[in-house]
Amino acid sequence: MKILTLSLGVAAMFSLLTVATNLAYGQIPAETRTTTTTTSTGTVSEFTPNTIAVKVNTSPIPVRYTFTKTTTYVDENGNPVSVETVKTGVPVMVYYEQNGSGLVADKVVVRKSVDVTPSVVVAPQNPPTTDGVIANADSDEITIRTATSDGRIHYKAHDVTAYVDESGNPVSRSMLKAGTPVTIYYERDGESLMATRVVVRNSVPIEKTTTTTTEETTIPR
């Protein structure tokens, strides 16, 4: 009975010595602290010396984060950037931790802003045209008569005025004779009309048909 008691005492002393040794050399792991880092993506709506407010798509109210001296600011490639780059309207990704009821930013990633301004496409406008027949054509002016106008319309001609047929093939300006049907493309230059292109159209002659009636008279014998 004494031997058993002695053995238990020795075992207990050995256990105490083992624990003391482990404590001395730090072999017993301390309490492990688990830290969870969360990210949030949005646009900076406010930046003050103490907080950063980010407007996110999932909340109508900006989310506020506090930051410390250890908070880092980087671009999308991980390169450090100045804190001055964090401005209102700048898209960011915030790495943060929960600290009681508050959120503490560990890292702020400044993202590239995307220009979403819609491009304005201006539809090309066709130049105005006039259909008519040549009344007169000299070196620097073309006068035509139209079916909708009682008077004559005058257009200035210049060196870059093009003269073409209905297929777009160039023609001689000498074809502009009185009575020739044309379509004139023009531009306004103050009070004047500048002919940019003259399309000589094919005229369809109107043929008159003459009917001769021969009457035969029979004279009785």
pLDDT reported for residue 39: 87
Tell me the torsion sign for CA atoms 171, 176, 181, 186.
Answer: positive
CATH number of 38-110: 2.40.50.320
State the span(s) of the chain assigned CATH 2.40.50.320: 38-110, 129-200
* Secondary structure of residue 44 in the 3-state scheme: strand
pLDDT reported for residue 4: 43
Task: Spell out the residues 6+ positions from residue 131 whose beta carbon is closer than 8 angstroms to its own.
Answer: 146, 147, 181, 182, 183
pLDDT reported for residue 160: 85
pLDDT reported for residue 193: 93
Query: Is-contact 108 67, C-beta < 8 A?
Result: yes
pLDDT reported for residue 104: 92
Measure the CA–CA gap between 188 and 161, rounded to whole angstroms: 14
If 0-12 CB within 10 Å is exposed, 13-18 middle and 19+ buried, where does residue 136 land? Answer: middle
DSSP H/E element including 25: helix 2-25
Task: Spell out the residues 6+ positions from residue 147 whose beta carbon is closer than 8 angstroms to its own.
Answer: 131, 132
Which long-range contacts does 101-104 make (Cβ < 8 Å, 24+ apart)? 102/66, 103/63, 103/64, 103/65, 103/66, 104/65, 104/66, 104/67, 104/68
Task: Spell out the residues 6+ positions from residue 128 whose beta carbon is closer than 8 angstroms to its own.
Answer: 185, 186
Hey, what CATH topology would domain 129-200 get? OB fold (Dihydrolipoamide Acetyltransferase, E2P) (2.40.50)
pLDDT reported for residue 2: 47
pTM: 0.39
pLDDT reported for residue 174: 87
- List beta partners, residue 103: 98
pLDDT reported for residue 133: 93
* Sites in the chain below the pLDDT cut of 50: 2-6, 8, 23, 28, 30, 116, 205-209
First and final C-alpha spacing in the chain: 187
